């Protein structure tokens, strides 16, 4: 079934002023309050309502693909696996689906490719000319327990190797002890080390204990200059959830109203179905507006999600569901 291109023409990235940070405002951090039951009720309203359907659903799922960071962060990663991932990043949908939908000229590609430092050059060489940024995880990913001096050297080395975006993990102990000055100083140093690369701070939200901690850590990271705040490493027991998305998106909105800097958001880990993906996107649209549903300000860190999205798009095009093994990402 052809798709009206007005539904899914990829918009030009909005002009984003890179976050230069702001002084740490402890009075603002100390005033943070979270009503957990209200958060859960708000998130349930997104899940329970009728979601987008048909042409609209296909358009939203195509948008999701363009905001996706395809990721491989396993101990057994190899160059050949990274190459397969890069090839999928350049061509996330099968050619026959693009033809059925009549969108061959939209140049659908993902938002980024995320790898360990050792594979930065492999990814850069394969993605040359496709305008897909290479993202490197850093600072002792995923635990973040290596010495700070080592973390900063790791960031600088990844930037020197060509990474356009750096995903760092915060020191959770600063959150647990309420030492916001330490967290602010740490992220500020990471920001300086990252140079022109985007700095994306991973909060490991599932390990922070409370939604209040998530909100406070989000604000401190943005004040310290983070260009994105991200939920999870994907290695925690609890990863991206709608309550985390709501709390973090409202922190982003508060920071934007305070400074005028638009900070990006990346839910990562645990989003494996198209339905879950749409719930997060709908919540972002309602809380932050359509401007944020753009790879400059929104990323999805869930590679396994692509298989289900491609499967849903094939159902829209053909009226039939196919098995998952026909949509492998690598």
Q: Alpha-carbon distance 56 to 182, whole Å?
A: 45
Q: Alpha-carbon distance 229 to 265, whole Å?
A: 5
Q: Alpha-carbon distance 191 to 171, whole Å?
A: 15
Q: Alpha-carbon distance 176 to 270, whole Å?
A: 24
Catalytic, out of 63, 88, 191, 266:
266
Catalytic, out of 200, 230, 276, 308:
230
Cβ atoms of 229 and 252 within 8 Å: the answer is: yes
Q: Alpha-carbon distance 62 to 154, whole Å?
A: 34
Give the largest CA-CA distance in the chain: 56
Told to judge if 266 belongs to the known catalytic residues of this protein, a careful annotator would answer yes
Catalytic, out of 69, 88, 109, 167:
167
What single-letter DSSP state applies at residue 4?
-
Residues in the chain: 330
Q: At what angle do helices 274-288 and 36-48 cross, to 10 degrees?
A: 120
Told to judge if 230 belongs to the known catalytic residues of this protein, a careful annotator would answer yes
**Catalytic residue IDs:** 167, 230, 266
């Amino acid at each position: 079934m052809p798709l009206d291109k007005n539904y899914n023409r990829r918009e030009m990235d909005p002009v984003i002023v890179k976050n230069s940070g702001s002084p740490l405002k402890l009075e603002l951090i100390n005033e943070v309050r979270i009503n957990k039951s209200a958060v859960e009720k708000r998130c349930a309203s997104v899940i329970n309502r009728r979601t987008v359907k048909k042409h609209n659903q296909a358009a939203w799922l195509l948008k999701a693909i363009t905001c996706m960071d395809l990721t491989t962060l396993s101990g057994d990663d190899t160059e050949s696996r990274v190459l397969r991932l890069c090839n999928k990043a350049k061509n996330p949908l099968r050619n026959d689906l693009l033809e059925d939908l009549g969108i061959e000229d939209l140049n659908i590609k993902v938002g980024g490719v995320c790898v360990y430092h050792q594979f930065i050059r492999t990814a850069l060489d394969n993605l040359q000319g496709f305008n897909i940024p290479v993202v490197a995880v850093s600072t002792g990913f995923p635990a973040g327990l290596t010495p700070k001096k080592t973390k900063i050297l790791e960031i600088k080395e990844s930037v020197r190797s060509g990474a356009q975006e750096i995903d760092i993990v915060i020191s959770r102990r600063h959150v647990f002890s309420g030492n916001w000055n330490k967290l602010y100083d740490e992220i500020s140093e990471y920001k300086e080390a990252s140079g022109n690369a985007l700095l994306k701070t991973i909060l490991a939200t599932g390990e922070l204990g409370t939604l209040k901690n998530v909100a406070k850590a989000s604000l401190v990271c943005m004040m310290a200059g983070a260009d994105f705040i991200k939920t999870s490493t994907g290695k925690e027991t609890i990863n991206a959830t709608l309550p985390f998305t709501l709390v973090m998106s409202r922190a982003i909105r508060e920071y934007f109203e305070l400074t005028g800097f638009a900070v990006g958001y990346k839910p990562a880990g645990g989003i494996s179905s198209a339905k879950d993906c749409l719930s997060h996107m709908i919540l972002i649209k309602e809380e932050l507006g359509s401007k944020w549903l753009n790879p400059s300000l929104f990323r999805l860190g869930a590679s396994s999600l692509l298989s289900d999205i491609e499967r849903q798009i094939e159902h829209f095009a053909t009226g039939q569901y196919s098995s998952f093994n026909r949509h492998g990402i690598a």
